[in-house]
Amino acid sequence: MTTITDSHCHLDFPDFEGERDAIVARACEAGVARMVTICTKLRQADQVRAIAEAHDPVFWAAGTHPMSAASEPMASVDDLLTLANHPKMVGIGETGLDYHYTGDSAAVQQESLRIHIEAARQTGLPLIIHARDADDDMARILSEEHAVGSYSCVMHCFSSGAALAETALNLGFYLSMSGIAAFKKSQELRDIFAAAPLDRILVETDSPYLAPPPHRGKRNEPAYTAHTARVGAAVFGLDYADFAKATEANFDRLFAKAAAWGKA
């Protein structure tokens, strides 16, 4: 079976309560052989870690979501370094900037983002970025920090403009394709992905949100990564198997700790 990875989901969310075993099983049946479940508030790290420990195909990452940056305790680099010692903790975040609903906390979000970048720099784990309605500040901070010292990064659920995509790609970062890229109205976004190098593309669900067709409007889950990946294959003019192989190689390169776990 052709396999792919859901590089970003939220299996700890209450939408999945009581169903996690079945959800992971359905993902594997659909060829989604690995999942990264994302902790968005550090006080919830224990429960997210426990999900990864209970399911061999599941890895985890941790950070403070930008929409929670002002309401949660400020993460420290040491906090993130400690969490990163876990063998299945494979990324820093999600972090980033979101000015759509929480623009009034922009300064706090930016401080939190820089802390997460430093943790990514020190651990060598990829930074997982959420960006919404903050393209200019995001491009500026990512570039400023990269000039201080390099780090790796994925622009999760990328749905920003072409300029931010170009900045991210020029820094050596990756763009992740979510169900948004499969929506009928998203041709402009598909064009941005089509202009990117194939070796910088990941796929994800961001489940339980953003289910791709034919499940749009319903609860998303990792098994549906395959629907988005089929759209991605069409965007790049590839067979599904070839696109899946490319995105798997990209995931292994960026999330090297997860790749090493699989080999072990």
pLDDT at residue 262 is higher than 80: no
pLDDT at residue 85 is higher than 90: yes
Range of the domain at 153: 4-263
**pLDDT-based confidence at 264, cuts 50/70/90?**
confident
119-143 residue pLDDT tens: 999 999 999 999 999 999 999 999 9
**Burial status of residue 13 (CB atoms within 10 A of its CB: 0-12, 13-18, 19 or more):** middle
CATH number reported for the structural domain that contains residue 51 in this entry: 3.20.20.140
189's CB contacts (< 8 A; 6+ apart) are 158, 159, 180, 181
Average pLDDT over residues 198-207: 98
Average pLDDT over residues 69-76: 97
- Is residue 206 within 8 Å of 9, Cβ to Cβ? yes
pTM tops 0.85: yes
44-68 residue pLDDT tens: 999 999 999 999 999 999 999 999 9
Alpha carbons 117 and 153: distance in angstroms, whole number: 9
**Burial status of residue 183 (CB atoms within 10 A of its CB: 0-12, 13-18, 19 or more):** middle
209's CB contacts (< 8 A; 6+ apart) are 10, 220
159-178 residue pLDDT tens: 999 999 999 999 999 999 99
Number of domains in the chain: 1
Average pLDDT over residues 177-201: 97
Alpha carbons 188 and 194: distance in angstroms, whole number: 10
Q: For the chain, what is the mean pLDDT?
A: 97
Residue set of the binding site for a divalent metal cation:
8, 10, 94, 130, 156, 206
**pLDDT-based confidence at 250, cuts 50/70/90?**
very high
Residue set of the binding site:
8, 10, 94, 130, 156, 206
Query: In this structure, what token pair is assigned to residue 60?
Result: 């985890």
* DSSP annotation of 125: P
Name 89's bridge partners. 60
Average pLDDT over residues 213-231: 97
